[in-house]
Amino acid sequence: MENILANRYEVQQQLGKKAGRQTLLAKDLKTEELVIIKLLSFTSDFQWDDLKLFEREAETLKSLSHPHIPGYLDYFEINSPEFKGFALIQTYISAKTLEQYLQIGRKFTEIEVKQIAKSVLNILIYLHSLHPPVIHRDLKPSNILLGDRTGNNVGEIYLIDFGSVQTVLATEGTGTRTIVGTYGYMPQEQFGGRTVPASDLYSLGATLIYLVTGSHPADLPEKDFRIQFEEVTNLSQNFTNWLRLMTEPSLGNRLRSANEAIIALDKPQLPIKTNTKLTSKKPNDSKIKLTKNRYLLEIIIPPSKLQAPRIRLSIATIFLIYIISFVWNATLLTVNGQTFFWIFLTGILFLMSLYIFNLFKSIILRIDQDKISIHYDFFGYDIYFYPPAYRDDICLLQRIRTYVHKSSKKSSSLEIKAQIIIWAGTDKNFIIGNNNDLVSEPELDWLAQELSEWLNLPIRTE
């Protein structure tokens, strides 16, 4: 390996090395400043995915501008007898990694760990708020730098190594996803090639657990995929709860954003979400059809039975239309009696069509690998009232039981019917059971449990 690259960068020392990659400390002979050089070499075990990730890191750093993220300086190809590959030049930050501090025996107090947590979360808020969001995917102690202590502050925090970074656009238009990350710091969804901003939160939580225990998360006991760190630490209950929420295996139970996490960190009390166990047995008299396999879950709610309240409502509505049309004809119109007849007939036909639709429509909720949708099936015709949503956006499974909400006025109250709400983001929800869909409480319990197990989401009951 030559000592001066591109006739400009004089190599000082090697900082790290792994298969096909090197990290070097060098001096920029033009500016007289130290820089970091990351090299990707065309060795015998070279794979095109390595080059794709390396180029993505360069493009990402080039687009970022944050005081606690290394700055992009240059990117070029090297083709010499000694080395063939690519070089990425970035600014040098004079600081040790958290991993290095732990290896030399440094202990971190709870206050210091909280300061580190807030600093990293502020960096993640910047990254995740970009368009498209930038997900680091390999947040761990060796990728976080800590500067020298200043007063009561633990020191400046920097996030480095964007070699595993993912953006939303990076996964669009491809049939496969590259699985990257470090065992012990990767959440469950990342093993399946799926990452969301909350995946970085899990990695940060696992990193902080390493700081307070001195042990890698993979070396700690595990129960139901949860890291069991509580017995080997002496933390406040609030911070313990917060770390649990950061490292929840299920996305639905985990804190969802860096903003939410930084607000929750200062709360005196934190609710621990629990997965309420409901019956998983289908009621004997249920006509609902449930189909599920590894790739698909589909719920078909058949047409509702004819109900006496609906018959009374229909008769009352027909009578109301008759009165309105009669008054309209008598006071506003001066044409012959045929006008009254056609207005009355049109109202009846419209009402009958709505009533027939309600009698013969089936409700179909469908979730596959990519999206969730709910629509009506009417004699083979699919009618969508709400657009589908991405399955990755599903974040909450809510089971609401029938209850009466009373307002401040004693004479006013509102009955809330039993239902299941599947939240996909903050502005989309898909509902099973409501004022019009006759689904029993046992059926809703059964469907909620099936959805919870298939989506790997907890059930929030209200």
Which residue is listed with tokens 């959440």? 187
- Greatest Cα pair distance, the chain, in angstroms, is 102
* Residue, of 10 and 329, whose pLDDT is higher: 10
User: Does the domain spanning 289-305+362-461 belong to CATH 3.40.50?
Assistant: no
The ranges assigned to domains in the chain are: 4-91, 96-265, 289-305+362-461, 308-359
Residue 432 scores a pLDDT above 90: no
Residue 374, Cβ density class (10 Å: 0-12 exposed, 13-18 middle, ≥19 buried): buried
CA distance 130 to 59: 14
CB of 359 within 8 A of CB of 314? no
DSSP codes of every residue in 152-212: TB---EEE---TT-EEHHHHTT-S-------TTT--HHHHTT---HHHHHHHHHHHHHHHH
CB of 120 within 8 A of CB of 127? no
Q: Which CATH class is domain 4-91?
A: alpha beta
Confidence band of 314 (pLDDT split at 50, 70, 90): low
Which residue is listed with tokens 């004997």? 284
Helices (H), 282-418: 308-331, 337-360
Pairing verdict, β 429-432 and 419-424: antiparallel
pLDDT above 90 covers a percentage of the chain that reads 38
DSSP codes of every residue in 70-87: PPEEEEEEEE-SS-EEEE
What is the predicted pLDDT for the residue at 402?
A: 73
pLDDT in tens, 81-116: 888 899 999 999 999 999 999 999 999 999 999 999
Residue 277, Cβ density class (10 Å: 0-12 exposed, 13-18 middle, ≥19 buried): exposed
Instruction: State mean pLDDT over 317-339.
Output: 56
Average pLDDT, the chain: 81
Nearest C-alpha neighbor of 84 from the set 38, 39, 22: 39
Task: Note if the bond before 132 is cis, omega within 30 degrees.
Answer: yes
User: Does the domain spanning 96-265 belong to CATH 3.40.50.720?
Assistant: no
Q: CA-CA distances (angstroms) from residue 172 to 136, 167, 169, 414?
A: 17, 9, 5, 45
What is the predicted pLDDT for the residue at 80?
A: 86
* Residue, of 139 and 251, whose pLDDT is higher: 139
pTM: 0.60
CB of 249 within 8 A of CB of 226? yes
Residue 171 scores a pLDDT above 50: no
Instruction: State mean pLDDT over 187-199.
Output: 84
* Residue, of 240 and 347, whose pLDDT is higher: 240
* Residue, of 18 and 176, whose pLDDT is higher: 18
Q: What are phi and psi of 96, to 5 degrees?
A: -95, 160
How many Cβ atoms from other residues are within 10 Å of residue 68's Cβ?
Answer: 18
Residue 16 scores a pLDDT above 80: yes
Q: CA-CA distances (angstroms) from residue 109 to 119, 205, 247, 392?
A: 16, 16, 20, 36
Residues whose CB falls within 8 Å of the CB of residue 285, separated by 6 or more in sequence, listed in order: none
> Which range in 70-84, 147-161, 199-213 is most confidently predicted, on average pLDDT?
199-213
* Residue, of 47 and 288, whose pLDDT is higher: 288
Question: If you ran DSSP here, which 8-state letter would residue 304 be given?
Answer: P
Q: Which of 240-244, 355-359, 425-429 has the lowest mean pLDDT?
A: 355-359
What is the predicted pLDDT for the residue at 101?
A: 96
Q: CA-CA distances (angstroms) from residue 60 to 38, 135, 238, 331, 397?
A: 14, 11, 36, 72, 34
Residue 308 scores a pLDDT above 50: no
Nearest C-alpha neighbor of 23 from the set 32, 33, 35: 35
Assign residue 29 a region (left: φ > 0; alpha: ψ between -120 and 50; beta: otherwise). alpha
pLDDT in tens, 55-83: 989 999 999 999 999 999 999 999 888 88
Pairing verdict, β 371-378 and 361-367: antiparallel
CB of 78 within 8 A of CB of 8? no
CA distance 96 to 110: 20
Q: In what order do the strands lie in the sheet with 429-432?
A: 429-432, 419-424, 394-400, 459-461
Residue 203, CB-side half-sphere exposure with 13 Å CA sphere: 29
> Residue type for 200, please?
D
CA distance 102 to 386: 52
Which positions are annotated as active-site residues?
Answer: 138
